[in-house]
Amino acid sequence: MKVQAYLAFRGNCQEALDFYADCLGAEIKNRQTYADRKIDVPDEYRDRLQHAELKGNGVDFMAYDAAPDTPLMDGTKIHLSIDVDKKQKAQEIFEQLSSGGKVHHELREREWNALFARFTDKYGINWMLNCDL
């Protein structure tokens, strides 16, 4: 069995995946648009992503642009969690992913002997970053 995150975006999925690929050193795979799908979306939405996957370097999640009539709101019940083993890498990822977003907990040493940060990125996705010391 495999449980996997599937992120929904409002027309900027490709931009978000490019950003995540750059920050996390992963690649966009299995990129599919609405172009040839028999799905009721506006013509200007046909070039948007109907499905894509971000994979590599320990990253594995899926994403898509939800149809314009699909209700989406930024949520607080789920976070993507990143575990790294080097302080410098944690700092780099924190600076990149949190850029333009909202930091809830700065990257700093915590009582469980780790560097930890929690933030929401500029696309409304919640993240937790942990680096054991």
What CATH number corresponds to the domain at position 85?
3.10.180.10
- Which pTM does this prediction carry? 0.86
Tokens of 46: 């046909």
My answer on whether 45 and 95 are in the same domain is: no
Task: Look over the chain and give the mean of its residue pLDDT values, rounded to a whole number.
Answer: 93
Strands 6-9 and 59-65, how do they pair?
parallel
Tokens of 68: 């314009």
My answer on whether 46 and 96 are in the same domain is: no
My answer on whether 56 and 90 are in the same domain is: no
Are 126 and 103 spatial neighbours (Cβ–Cβ below 8 Å)? no
Per the structure, the count of domains in the chain is: 2
pLDDT in tens, 2-22: 779 999 999 999 999 999 999
pLDDT in tens, 78-132: 899 999 999 999 999 999 999 999 999 999 999 999 999 999 999 999 999 999 9
